[in-house]
Chain A
Amino acid sequence: MKPTLQVTDLRTHIYLRSHVLKPVDGVSFNIAPGRILGLVGESGSGKSTVGYSVMRMIDPPGRVAGGSVEFNGTNILDLDDAEMRRLRGNRIAMVFQDPMMTLNPVLTIGTQMMETIAAHETIGKMQARDRCVHALELVGIPAPAERLKAYPHQMSGGMRQRVSIAIALLHEPGLIIADEPTTALDVTVQAQILSEVQKLAQDRGTAFLWITHDLSVVSGLADDVAVMYAGKIVEQGRTIDVLRNPQHPYTRGLIGSIPSGTAQGEMLTPIPGSAPNLTRLPQGCAFEPRCPHRLPQCASAVPPQSAGTGRALACFNPLVDAR
C-alpha cells in the first residue's frame, strides 16, 4: 500500500549566531494508512522536532534544511503557506501533551470545535454541530451533545485530552501526529485513550505518528517503532521485532532501563552517562561515549543506516543475539 506519510532524509537545523544545532539530522521513515508508528526517544533526542517539522511548525532560527516530507505523494515542504494552511488541521492534525495548553480556557469546547470546522469548510451550523457530537462520540465522551457547552476547566485531564483528539478528528485527517498525548494521564485513562486510537486506525485507516518516551506504551500500541537518539533514528522496524530482539546498543539500554523488563530484586542495567548536548556532539556515532559495545571506528565515523528487511539500523557493531 502507498504510504500516507513518507519522510526521507529530513534535516531540521537551528541556525544560531555562533553555531548550528541539528536536532533532526537525516531522519527517514514511512507510515502506511491505518498503521501506528511509535517514535521513541529521550528528551532532547529530536522526536518532537520531527513532528513539528512534518506539520511545518518550525519557527526561526530553526528551519527544515533538507529532505522531503511526502504526504499522500505531495512533498509538503514545497507547498506555499496558504496551501499548507489548508492541509494543517484538515488532512494532517496534531495532538499535544497538555490539553490545557491546546484548548482555549474561555471558550466552550463546542465553540472551539465549530471554529475548527469553519476554518476549513463552509457548512451549516447544525451540520457542524452534528459533526462535533459525532467526533466526541468517537473518542468515548459520554453525553457529547451536553458536553459541547462545557468549558475546559469543567472537564478532567483525560476528558480534555479526548476533546483535543476529537478536534484532531473533525476533518477525518489521513495522518494524526500525537506528541506525548498520554504522558500526563493516569494508566486507566491512558488505556481508554489508547483503545480509542487503535480503533480509529483500524476502522478509518488513519495513520498515526505516536511520539513518546514510553517504550511500554509503544509496545502495546504501535505496529512499527523508530528509536531516536541525538537527532538520528538508530533503529527501526516492527515493534515486536525491535523490542524482542534489539540490535542497537541504545535500544537495548533503553529496554534494560525499564523496571518491567527485569524481575524484582534484580538490578536494572541503566545506560551510563546522560544524553549528549547538541552543541557538543561527538564526531562519530553520537552514542559512542555511552556505548558498551563501541569499536575504535565508532569514535571517528558516523555509522550509516543499514536497511534490512523492514528493519533499519545505524551501528557498526550491532548486537547479534540480544538477551
Chain B
Amino acid sequence: MTQTPILELRKVAKSFAKGDDIVSRAARKLGLLAPNRPLHAVQESSLQIWSGEIVGLVGESGCGKSTLGRLAAGLIRPTCGAVLQDGKDVSTMTRSERRQAKLKTQMIFQNPYASLNPRAKIGQAVGEAARFHGLLDDGSGRTSYEDYVESQLARVGLDSGYKNRFPHQLSGGQRQRVAIARALAVKPHMLICDEVVSALDVSVQAQILNLFIELRDRLNLTYLFVSHDLHVIRYLSDRVVVMYLGQVVEEAPAEQIYRHPNHPYTRALLAEVPRLGEGKSQFTAIKGEMPSPLDPPKGCPFHPRCIHATARCAVEAPAIVEIAPGHRSACHLNQMSH
C-alpha cells in the first residue's frame, strides 16, 4: 500500500451549469430571473484506488456516483481538483501521454444496447479501437485482426461465431460480455463499471459477476464498480465507498463497512436492504428523501434525515476522518465520542 495508487482523485469537484439561452440571459441581466445556479454533482471528494483492488462505489440515484466514475475515467474534467494516474496529474500530461492514460482506464456502461453501435458487427465493435491504437500485436509475433477479435471474444466466454453478428441478435447478457470484451481489447489496467449488471436478470447477472472476478484474477485488473445494488457491491468489493448528495460519507474495507457501518446514512442504507431467507421483515424507512442537489442543505448533507442530528450538524459540514485503520467516515458523532 506504500506505492502510488493506480488512480487518485484529489479533492475533485464537478458542477454542471445549465446553459442559458438568449432570453434568459437578458432576463437575468434585468434581474427578472434568479441567477443561474450550478448543480454540484460532486463536491470535493478524494478517492485512491490501488492496483489489483476492487472498489465499490455505492449510493442512491442522484448522489453523484456516476459523475465520480466518469471523472475517474477521464470522460469529463473536474471543475476543481486533480485526477492522478500512476501519480501523474492527467491535466498536465502531453497529448500522447494522455491518450495512453485514457486507454489504461476503460469504462463499461449499464445498457450495452445503447453503448454498442447497432449497425456494427460485434467483431468490429471489439477490434476497431485496438486496431486504431496499434494494439493488435501482443508481443508474441504478428496477430491478425481476426485472430485478435476471436481471442478477445473467447476471453469473455463467447465463441468466434459471434463476431459476424449484430448487437440485436444477442441477449442482454451476451451484449454485456461484448461490452466487456471491447473494453478489455485495448489492454487497460483498470475498468470503471457503471451499473453494469443492473439491467440483467439475476441468473445472468451472476454469470457476469463471476466473469468479472475471473478476469481480474487472470489479467490483474483493477475495478471501480459503481452500483446502487448493495448485494452486488458486497459480493465483489475489497473496499466500499458510500456517497450521499455529492460527497463521500464513508469509506472502509467491505467486510468492515457491512459489519460495522459508522455513518448514520450507511447504517440506515444497510438496514433497508431486503435480505433473503430472513422471513417477513418489518421495513423501517429513513424519513424523507434525498434533497435536490440544486439546493443542498447546509452543514452535513444528511442532517435533515438523520436521527442523531445535533445543532452542530446543521451548520458545520463534518470532515471525513479516519476512525479505524482504513475506515474513514464524515460524521460529527465520531468526534464527540472521543
Is the CB–CB distance between B203 and A219 below 8 Å?
no
Minimum CB–CB distance for A43 against chain B, Å: 6
With a cutoff of 8 Å between Cβ atoms, the chain A residues found around residue B281 in the complex are: 219-220
Is the CB–CB distance between A213 and B280 below 8 Å?
no
B277 lies within 8 A of chain A by Cβ: yes
A158 lies within 8 A of chain B by Cβ: yes
Mark out the residues of chain B between 176 and 215 whose CB falls within 8 Å of any chain A CB in the assembled complex: 201-207, 209-210, 213
A291 lies within 8 A of chain B by Cβ: no
A269 lies within 8 A of chain B by Cβ: yes
A10 lies within 8 A of chain B by Cβ: no
With a cutoff of 8 Å between Cβ atoms, the chain B residues found around residue A222 in the complex are: 280
Mark out the residues of chain B between 275 and 311 whose CB falls within 8 Å of any chain A CB in the assembled complex: 275-286, 289-290
Bound form: Cα–Cα A303–B110 in Å: 38
Mark out the residues of chain A between 220 and 267 whose CB falls within 8 Å of any chain B CB in the assembled complex: 220-223, 239-240, 243-244, 253-262, 264, 267
**Contacts known (A188-B60, A260-B231, A268-B210); A217 close to B274, Cβ less than 8 A:** yes
A interface residues, how many (CB within 8 angstroms): 49
Is the CB–CB distance between B202 and A42 below 8 Å?
yes
Per-residue CB proximity of B252-289 to A under 8 Å, as 1/0? 00110000000000001100111111111111111001
Is the CB–CB distance between B210 and A270 below 8 Å?
yes
Closest to A198 in B: B283
Mark out the residues of chain A between 198 and 227 whose CB falls within 8 Å of any chain B CB in the assembled complex: 198, 213-217, 219-223
Mark out the residues of chain B between 152 and 173 whose CB falls within 8 Å of any chain A CB in the assembled complex: 171, 173
Is the CB–CB distance between B276 and A267 below 8 Å?
no
Bound form: Cα–Cα A269–B206 in Å: 7
Determine the main DSSP class of A at the interface with B: helix
B48 lies within 8 A of chain A by Cβ: no
Bound form: Cα–Cα A267–B206 in Å: 9
Bound form: Cα–Cα A221–B209 in Å: 26
With a cutoff of 8 Å between Cβ atoms, the chain A residues found around residue B232 in the complex are: 259
Per-residue CB proximity of A265-290 to B under 8 Å, as 1/0? 00111111011000000000000000
Is the CB–CB distance between B230 and A187 below 8 Å?
yes
Is the CB–CB distance between B203 and A257 below 8 Å?
yes
Minimum CB–CB distance for B245 against chain A, Å: 13
Mark out the residues of chain B between 85 and 119 whose CB falls within 8 Å of any chain A CB in the assembled complex: none
Bound form: Cα–Cα A223–B268 in Å: 25
Minimum CB–CB distance for B113 against chain A, Å: 14
With a cutoff of 8 Å between Cβ atoms, the chain B residues found around residue A268 in the complex are: 206, 209-210, 235
Bound form: Cα–Cα A275–B207 in Å: 13
A127 lies within 8 A of chain B by Cβ: no
A190 lies within 8 A of chain B by Cβ: yes
Is the CB–CB distance between B202 and A257 below 8 Å?
yes
B79 lies within 8 A of chain A by Cβ: no
B144 lies within 8 A of chain A by Cβ: no
A14 lies within 8 A of chain B by Cβ: no
B interface residues, how many (CB within 8 angstroms): 43
A195 lies within 8 A of chain B by Cβ: yes
**Contacts known (A267-B213, A270-B207); A261 close to B289, Cβ less than 8 A:** no
Contact of A188 among B206, B207, B272, B275 (CB under 8 A): B272
With a cutoff of 8 Å between Cβ atoms, the chain B residues found around residue A189 in the complex are: 60, 289
Minimum CB–CB distance for A150 against chain B, Å: 14
Bound form: Cα–Cα A187–B270 in Å: 9
Closest to A240 in B: B279
**Contacts known (A264-B254, A268-B209); A188 close to B202, Cβ less than 8 A:** no
Bound form: Cα–Cα A43–B201 in Å: 7
Is the CB–CB distance between B285 and A188 below 8 Å?
yes
Is the CB–CB distance between A221 and B274 below 8 Å?
yes
Is the CB–CB distance between B268 and A255 below 8 Å?
no
A319 lies within 8 A of chain B by Cβ: no
Per-residue CB proximity of A181-198 to B under 8 Å, as 1/0? 000001111111011001
B10 lies within 8 A of chain A by Cβ: no
With a cutoff of 8 Å between Cβ atoms, the chain A residues found around residue B279 in the complex are: 219, 239-240
Closest to A197 in B: B283
B61 lies within 8 A of chain A by Cβ: yes
Is the CB–CB distance between B203 and A254 below 8 Å?
yes
Is the CB–CB distance between A42 and B274 below 8 Å?
no
Is the CB–CB distance between B280 and A191 below 8 Å?
no
Closest to A42 in B: B201
With a cutoff of 8 Å between Cβ atoms, the chain B residues found around residue A260 in the complex are: 231, 234-235, 273, 275-276
Is the CB–CB distance between B286 and A188 below 8 Å?
yes
Bound form: Cα–Cα A271–B284 in Å: 33
With a cutoff of 8 Å between Cβ atoms, the chain B residues found around residue A219 in the complex are: 274-279, 281
Is the CB–CB distance between A195 and B276 below 8 Å?
no
Contact of A158 among B173, B273, B289 (CB under 8 A): B289
Is the CB–CB distance between B235 and A262 below 8 Å?
yes
Bound form: Cα–Cα A271–B200 in Å: 13
Bound form: Cα–Cα A69–B119 in Å: 45
With a cutoff of 8 Å between Cβ atoms, the chain A residues found around residue B131 in the complex are: none
A156 lies within 8 A of chain B by Cβ: yes
Is the CB–CB distance between A216 and B206 below 8 Å?
no
B228 lies within 8 A of chain A by Cβ: yes
Is the CB–CB distance between B284 and A195 below 8 Å?
yes
Bound form: Cα–Cα A157–B277 in Å: 28
Contact of B275 among A42, A220, A257 (CB under 8 A): A220
Is the CB–CB distance between A270 and B206 below 8 Å?
yes
Contact of A264 among B61, B234, B282 (CB under 8 A): B234
With a cutoff of 8 Å between Cβ atoms, the chain B residues found around residue A220 in the complex are: 274-275, 278, 280-281, 283
Listed A/B pairs (10) with beta-carbon separation below 8 Å = A187-B228, A189-B289, A192-B286, A213-B201, A217-B274, A219-B281, A220-B274, A259-B236, A261-B277, A269-B206
The 8 closest A-B pairs by CB, nearest first: A259-B235, A270-B206, A257-B206, A192-B285, A191-B272, A195-B283, A186-B60, A42-B201
Sample of 14 further A-B pairs with CB below 8 A, known A187-B228, A216-B275, A253-B203? A187-B230, A187-B273, A188-B60, A191-B285, A194-B274, A198-B283, A216-B274, A217-B274, A220-B275, A220-B278, A256-B206, A260-B276, A268-B206, A270-B210
By a beta-carbon cutoff of 8 Å, the part of chain A in contact with chain B is 42-43, 156-159, 186-192, 194-195, 198, 213-217, 219-223, 239-240, 243-244, 253-262, 264, 267-272, 274-275
